């Protein structure tokens, strides 16, 4: 089996939003839509205050609540574990967005561009009418991953088979790969670090891991 | 315009970022969902009331009473709710796709139940006073109960909204739908209402109040977002008045026997339920927010276990 997951090393993330920009460039999302976001969080009370950058987006859950509630089967899970949307089936009811505990979904009812209602030439060239009025979210750049695999490349290792946000990350905070493959970058990484998954108690089996420390053995 | 999402970064125009958008001012707090507005709430209002009306219509059919006005009112109420959903969705002309996922989606199941429900309502009206009409009315009542159950499960399946996900919302949604329907049924058939309906309505009002108070209490106990709890708590006076005043009026009518008092009690009972549902769907629907159980270790620093803004530690 294959289970694509993403790992975000919170120790490394500097909150530069390059992943966000790369995602927007790769997927031509409209202003206000960020499939890959980085939250800038203040934690604690003075004087014990920390600043944490938290990359978020669709967690490509193993048990996706969005897929469960979707009345149209537009949201579906692939055999590789990624959760995708068939924009031709979606009716834009928004139910999936309410079922998602990660606030990862967007619905744009009317296109607005960087400078108003008229698109710039580059925006017009890449505008996708099919994404208006329906749910949209991070795809793990699955078209890139599929194309890379077809060329014999390994997702998470070769940039041509890896999501744009991971390729763009300046600090190496984001890693992508097949968690069921013990030799994948994510499996090797997760084996030697302390990590958590967000809202795990909701039974969603999220495919997004957050690293917060080394494993204790490595500290000794 | 886009509805819904959002983001916390200062570059995100669609979110609920604070004015000024300073980096330190953004965070992982729960916030009000924007995907479902009053149009979606109207589905729960119209559907619940319509289902309640059809349940009473089924009772009338069993008693040999004319239930046609109630069935028509139920039809109009449910149709109103479904039409509002039609207005809510982004691609209404693809509505047929709604029926594609009965395996797990309660929204699909609601839509599927609506089809035989409409057939039963039509048969009930066309064959009013005949045996087949009685059967159709009973069928409509059973299907209306199923429709109401689906609506309850739709709210509960939304794992991203703690106020809807809470288990205590389920009995409230069932009881308030039945209460609203019975209250309107009394208004519609006030001159010929079955004598049992008044005490049943009083009982339902007490039950509804009890379930609401339990819901409000448990929501806070179980650590739902503060803003959700506050919105629910704000309805305390409203729900007390909306449930107890109709009871007082029904008791008064027992002595005075003035039909207008029953109508007034019914309208208050129905309207208070509608308003409460509208608030639950549109105002108390805070998201979970983002959870950061631990801070990362950087340099010589140490990781700390953290709670979540907007939530208490026990959430």
Interface of A with B in 46-85 (CB under 8 A): 48, 50-52, 54, 56, 65, 67-74
B18, B28, B38, B224, best to mutate vs chain A, most A CBs in 10 Å: B28
Compute how many other C-beta atoms are within 10 angstroms of the C-beta atom of residue B49. 32
Question: Quick check: A95 and B13 CB within 8 A?
Answer: no
Q: Cβ–Cβ of A107/B1 closer than 8 Å?
A: no
Q: Which residues of chain A have pLDDT under 50?
A: 220
Looking at residue A71, its pLDDT comes to 98
| pLDDT value of residue B194 | 74
Instruction: Return the pLDDT at A103.
Output: 95
Measure the CA–CA gap between A24 and B7, rounded to whole angstroms: 14
A41 in contact with chain B, both atoms CB, cutoff 8 A: yes
Buried b (16+ CB within 10 A) or exposed e, A59-87: bbbbebbbbbbbbbbbbbbeebbbbbbeb
Residues 24-53 of B with CB under 8 A from A: 24, 26-28, 33, 35-36, 40
pLDDT at position A93:
97
Q: Which residues contact B83 (CB under 8 A, 6 or more apart)?
A: none
Tens digits of residue pLDDT in B2-47: 444 333 333 333 333 333 333 333 357 899 999 999 999 999 999 9
What is the token pair recorded at B291? Answer: 């959870």
Q: pLDDT by residue (tens digit) across A179-212? A: 999 999 999 999 999 999 999 999 999 999 999 9
- Across the interface, of B7, B89, B291, the residue whose CB is closest to A198 is B291
**Alpha carbons A90 and B253: distance in angstroms, whole number:** 52
Decide if B117 contacts B75 (C-beta within 8 A). no
Domains of chain A: 4-219 (3.30.70.20)
Q: What is the predicted pLDDT for the residue at B3?
A: 46
- pLDDT of chain B, 315 residues: tens digit per residue: 444 433 333 333 333 333 333 333 335 789 999 999 999 999 999 999 999 999 999 999 999 999 999 999 999 999 999 999 999 999 999 999 999 999 999 999 999 999 999 999 999 999 999 999 999 999 999 999 999 999 999 999 999 999 999 999 999 999 999 999 999 999 998 877 778 899 999 999 999 999 999 999 999 999 899 999 999 999 999 999 999 999 999 999 888 888 899 999 999 999 999 999 999 999 999 999 988 889 999 887 888 887 654 444 333
pLDDT at site B145: 98
At residue A47, the pLDDT reads: 83
């Amino acid at each position: 089996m294959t289970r694509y997951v993403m790992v975000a090393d919170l120790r490394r993330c500097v909150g530069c939003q390059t992943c966000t920009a790369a995602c927007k460039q790769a997927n031509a999302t409209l202003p206000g839509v960020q499939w890959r976001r980085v939250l800038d969080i203040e934690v604690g009370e003075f004087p014990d205050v920390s600043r944490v950058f938290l990359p978020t987006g669709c967690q490509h859950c193993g048990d996706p609540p969005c897929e469960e509630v979707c009345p149209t089967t537009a949201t579906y899970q692939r055999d590789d574990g990624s959760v995708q949307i068939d924009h031709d089936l979606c009716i834009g009811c928004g139910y999936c967005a309410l079922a998602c505990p990660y606030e990862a979904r967007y619905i744009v009812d009317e296109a607005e561009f960087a400078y108003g209602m008229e698109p710039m030439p580059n925006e017009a060239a890449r505008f996708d009418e099919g994404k208006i009025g329906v749910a949209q979210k991070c795809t793990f750049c699955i078209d890139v991953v599929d194309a890379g695999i077809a060329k014999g490349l390994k997702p998470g290792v070769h940039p041509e088979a890896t999501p744009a946000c991971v390729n763009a990350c300046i600090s190496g905070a984001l890693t992508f790969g097949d968690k069921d493959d013990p030799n994948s970058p994510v499996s090797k990484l997760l084996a030697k670090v302390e990590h958590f998954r967000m809202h795990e108690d909701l039974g969603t089996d999220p495919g997004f891991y957050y690293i917060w420390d080394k494993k204790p053995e490595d500290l000794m | 315009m886009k509805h819904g999402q959002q983001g916390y970064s200062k570059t995100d125009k669609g979110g609920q970022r604070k004015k000024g958008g300073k980096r330190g001012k953004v965070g992982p707090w729960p916030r009000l969902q924007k995907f479902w507005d009053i149009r979606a709430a109207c589905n729960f209002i119209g559907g619940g009331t319509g289902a309640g009306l059809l349940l009473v219509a089924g009772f009338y059919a069993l008693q040999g009473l004319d239930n046609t006005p109630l069935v028509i009112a139920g039809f109009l109420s449910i149709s109103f709710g479904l039409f509002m959903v039609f207005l809510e969705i982004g691609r209404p002309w693809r509505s047929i796709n709604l029926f594609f996922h009965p395996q797990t989606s309660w929204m699909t199941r609601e839509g599927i139940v609506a089809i035989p429900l409409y057939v039963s309502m039509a048969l009930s009206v066309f064959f009013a006073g005949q045996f087949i009409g009685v059967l159709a009315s009973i069928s409509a009542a059973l299907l209306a109960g199923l429709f109401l159950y689906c609506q309850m499960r739709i709210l509960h399946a939304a794992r991203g909204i703690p106020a809807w996900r809470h288990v205590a919302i389920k009995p409230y949604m069932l009881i308030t739908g039945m209460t609203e329907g019975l209250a309107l049924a009394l208004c519609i058939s006030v001159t010929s209402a079955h004598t049992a309906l008044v005490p049943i309505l009083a009982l339902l009002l007490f039950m509804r109040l009890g379930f609401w108070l339990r819901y409000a209490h448990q929501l806070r106990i179980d650590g739902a977002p503060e803003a959700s709890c506050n919105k629910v708590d704000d309805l305390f006076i409203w729900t007390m008045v909306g449930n107890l005043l109709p009871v007082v009026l029904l008791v008064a009518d027992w002595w005075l026997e003035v039909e207008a008092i029953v109508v007034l009690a019914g309208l208050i009972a129905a309207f208070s339920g509608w308003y409460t549902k509208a608030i639950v769907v549109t105002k108390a629907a805070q998201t979970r927010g983002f959870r950061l159980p631990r801070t990362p270790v950087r340099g010589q620093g140490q990781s700390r276990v953290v709670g979540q803004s907007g939530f208490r530690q026990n959430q």
